[in-house]
Amino acid sequence: MNLFDRFILTIYSFALIILSCIAITAFSGWIAPEVFTPYVDQMLAGTNITYLIVAIIFLVVSLRFFFSSFRSNKPKVERGIRQRNDLGEVNITIQTIQTIAERAARRVKGVRDMKTTVKALESGNIITLRVSVDGETPLPDLTQQLQAGVKEQVEGIAGVVISEVAVVVTEVAQQENYAARKRVE
């Protein structure tokens, strides 16, 4: 159920709650029937178009929910990289590729923190690493080790061809923050 359906269902449920409360008070005798007589007369006379519009809206919403309950809910296929071999199809999820890439990147000396994104495109698979570094390892060496290590590890474990490993150095971690974080871990 999408966000629009949930919103409509909430309003629909709220309106039904109000109508149910009115019906309960009317039929239980808590409120005199004379209070409702003018409204019932107006509805039956057909002079007020508002009641007709509200009834049509309720009918449309009811039909929408009724027919949507019969829709087949196909299992959601996780996005991933699909490969076909002699035995069948293999789907490796994006999350799996991200995990393999992060494990490989954490092995590189000088990497402190990272965020990984994977894009599976027709032109090839792209891994983007946004890393925080220690500031002691030369950046050209560090980024080259990251690119080679991640590409080799992902291709070796997952069997997926990686066309590009992009590295974005987002910050240099301060030593005191890293030492305090290291003690906590």
pLDDT tens-digit readout, 104-127: 999 999 998 899 999 988 778 899
First to last CA, the chain: 41
**Tens digits of residue pLDDT in 152-184:** 999 999 888 899 999 999 998 776 555 555 555
- The values of phi and psi at residue 163, to 5°, are -85, -25
Which residues of the chain form CATH 3.30.70.1350?
80-184
Topology annotation, domain 80-184: Alpha-Beta Plaits (3.30.70)
Residue 149 has pLDDT above 80, yes or no: yes
**Mode of pairing for the β-strands spanning 124-133 and 162-172:** parallel
**Mode of pairing for the β-strands spanning 111-121 and 124-133:** antiparallel
